[in-house]
Amino acid sequence: MHVVVSGGTGFIGSHLVKHLVGRGHSVTVISRSPAKVAGMFDGKAAGCTLETLPAAFDGVVNLAGATLDRRWNAAWKQEIVDSRVEVTRSLCEAATARGAKSFVSGSAIGYYGDRGDEPCTEETAPGDDFLAELCVKWEAAAQCEGLSVATVRTGLVLHRSGGALAVMLPYFKWLLGGRLGSGRQYWSWVHLDDIVALFTFALEKQLSGPLNGAAPNPVTNREFTRALARAVHRPVSLPVPEFALRLLYGEMADMLLLGQKVLPERTQSLGFEFKYTQLDKALHAALYE
């Protein structure tokens, strides 16, 4: 297939592009600096802008979006929304006009809001906080007319090369790794290899509908903290109180203090098999393999 990837130079996207190329697909990466794409992928992927898309392509994987990993204010929250919704809408229009068949769009488990111990499957209704409303708008923008459209609600992606794990590692190695707040909030996680495989699976199978991109054994933050401490051979440190996280990060602290117990029921029923289903093995692979 000829696949267009937005967000292809980011943490998940760069690994996905290499995986797609390895499977024999032709890949064009949307970038503000298209000339840099060839160098980043050793000439095995082409670059373009949103305005210079290829005349025809078969599928889209949409991972574009401004980072959530900074303190939110009104202007940045609007940027978070626009960078996902507007780009997704534009890509949908282009994919329809250029004869694509499959559109796979990113989303996040934040779709479900703060659900405590309630299990969240793909059938669970959305929450009502900022991240939930963002995901609802993001997924709605991805409903391209005439294409199979899958939305992957991604959990906490584990790999030493980026994402939350790369941020947490130094703290644990410096003996500063403790639970966040009460530690009772669920952290639904997924290994990088599995989320890359799931986006590829949805694209190649031309799947439609929501897919939970989280391993089938979610854990609480307390359990995650203990597992990561074991993985790096360090003791668990003192907890980080909620007020300190709120003071430091403001509303963005919701990402750390609120949680969802996500189960990938539909994802698995459609035939996808997770390589990493247990956190200890996933962390070892993410850190050392």
Per DSSP, helices labelled H in the chain are 11-22, 34-40, 74-97, 130-141, 163-173, 192-204, 221-231, 242-249, 254-257, 265-269, 279-288
Comparing CA positions, the residue from 3, 51, 55 lying closest to residue 29 is 3
Structure-token match 């707040």, residue found: 181
Do the Cβ atoms of 266 and 212 come closer than 8 Å?
yes
CA dihedral 250, 183, 255, 177 (to 10 degrees): 80
In this prediction, residues 51-68 reach a mean pLDDT of: 96
Burial of 196 (0-12, 13-18, 19+ CB in 10 A): buried
In CATH, what number is assigned to the domain containing residue 129? Answer: 3.40.50.720
Given a contact cutoff of 8 angstroms between Cβ atoms, the answer to whether 201 and 168 are in contact is no
∠ CA(189), CA(112), CA(272), 5° rounding? 50
- In the chain, the percentage of residues whose pLDDT exceeds 70 is 100
Instruction: Measure the CA dihedral 8/14/15/17, to 10°.
Output: 50
Whether 205 shows a pLDDT value over 90: the answer reads yes
Confidence of residue 42 (pLDDT cuts 50, 70, 90): very high
What does the mean pLDDT of the chain come to? Answer: 96
What is the tens place of the pLDDT at every residue in 79-111? Answer: 999 999 999 999 999 999 999 999 999 999 999
- pLDDT value of residue 69: 86
Q: Which of 261, 255, 269, 164 is nearest to 211 (CA)?
A: 269
Number of domains in the chain: 1
Domain residues for the domain of 224 are 2-288
pTM value? 0.97
Q: For residue 235, what are its two tokens?
A: 């003791």
pLDDT at position 10 over 90: yes
- Kindly tell me if the per-residue pLDDT of 18 is higher than 90: yes
Is 3 a residue whose pLDDT tops 90?
yes
- Residue 253 reports pLDDT greater than 90: yes
